[in-house]
C-alpha cells in the first residue's frame, strides 16, 4: 500500500480552472465539491444581491461569491459567499487566487448531501483561521445558524439576520429563504 501524496496550496494554485472550480483542497487532499442546486444558487444570489446593495460605500465590507480562500495549513475552501472587511481588501492583491486569508464572514448555503461532520469541520476551520463569523443557511429547516468563536445563534422565520460586523445590514430569514 502506498501513502497518498499531499498537495501544497502552491501546487493547487497551478491546476487548471476546470479542476480547481470543482474541488477544495483540504489538508493537502483534493476534495470534490458537488454542483450547487438551483435552490442553493437562488438563496446565495439573493443574499449576495442584498449584501452588495448594503455595501455600496467603498469603506464598507465587500461580498463575493465562490472565491477560493486559504484557511488552515494546506487547505483552500470556497465559501458560497465571502465577506471581506475593507481592511482585509487593502492587505492583499486583487488578482491573487486563492485569497491569502479567510473572509471576515464565511457563508455556506447547506446542501442535503453535506454531512454534519463535514459542515462542523468547515466552521471550525474558518473560525480557527481568523473568520469572525460563519453563517450556515439551512433552507431545508428554514433557519440560519450564526457561529462565532464564543456563541451560536439560531434564527428562524420572523427573525432578522444581522451582524455587528455589518452595521445597518439586515434581512429577515423569511425573505432570504
Q: Which run of H or of E encompasses 105?
A: strand 105-109
**How many beta carbons lie within 10 A of that of residue 167, not counting itself?**
10
| Phi, psi for 51 (deg, rounded to 5) | -65, -40
pLDDT at 96: 85
Pairwise CA distance, residues 152 & 148, whole Å: 6
pLDDT at 7: 87
Residue 113 contacts residue 84 (beta carbons within 8 Å): no
pLDDT at 3: 53
- Kindly tell me if the per-residue pLDDT of 103 is higher than 60: yes
As a whole-number percent, the residues of the chain with pLDDT over 90 amount to 66
What does the pLDDT average to over 124-143?
96
Per-chain mean pLDDT for the chain: 91
Going by C-alpha positions, the residue among 71, 67, 91 that lies closest to residue 25 is 71
pLDDT at 61: 94
Note if the bond before 98 is cis, omega within 30 degrees. yes
**Total-model pTM:** 0.90
2 falls in which pLDDT band (50, 70, 90)? Answer: very low
114-131 pLDDT per residue, tens: 778 889 999 999 999 999
Mean pLDDT lowest for which of 12-16, 55-59, 79-83? 55-59
pLDDT at 1: 38
What does the pLDDT average to over 58-85?
93
pLDDT at 68: 94
Amino acid at each position: 500500500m502506498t501513502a497518498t501524496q499531499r498537495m501544497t496550496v502552491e501546487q493547487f494554485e497551478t491546476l487548471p480552472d476546470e479542476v480547481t472550480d470543482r474541488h477544495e483542497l483540504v489538508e493537502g487532499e483534493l476534495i470534490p465539491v458537488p454542483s450547487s442546486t438551483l435552490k442553493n444558487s437562488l438563496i446565495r444570489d439573493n443574499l449576495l444581491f442584498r449584501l452588495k446593495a448594503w455595501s455600496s460605500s467603498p469603506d464598507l465590507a465587500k461580498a463575493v461569491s465562490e472565491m477560493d480562500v486559504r484557511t488552515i495549513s494546506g487547505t483552500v475552501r470556497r465559501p458560497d459567499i465571502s465577506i471581506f472587511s475593507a481592511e482585509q481588501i487593502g492587505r492583499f492583491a486583487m488578482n491573487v487566487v486563492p485569497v491569502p486569508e479567510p473572509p471576515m464572514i464565511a457563508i455556506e448555503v447547506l446542501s442535503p448531501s453535506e454531512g454534519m461532520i463535514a459542515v462542523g469541520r468547515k466552521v471550525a476551520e474558518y473560525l480557527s483561521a481568523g473568520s469572525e463569523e460563519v453563517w450556515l443557511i439551512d433552507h431545508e429547516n428554514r433557519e440560519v445558524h450564526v457561529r462565532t468563536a464564543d456563541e451560536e445563534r439560531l434564527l428562524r422565520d420572523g427573525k432578522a439576520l444581522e451582524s455587528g460586523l455589518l452595521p445597518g445590514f439586515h434581512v429577515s430569514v423569511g425573505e432570504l429563504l
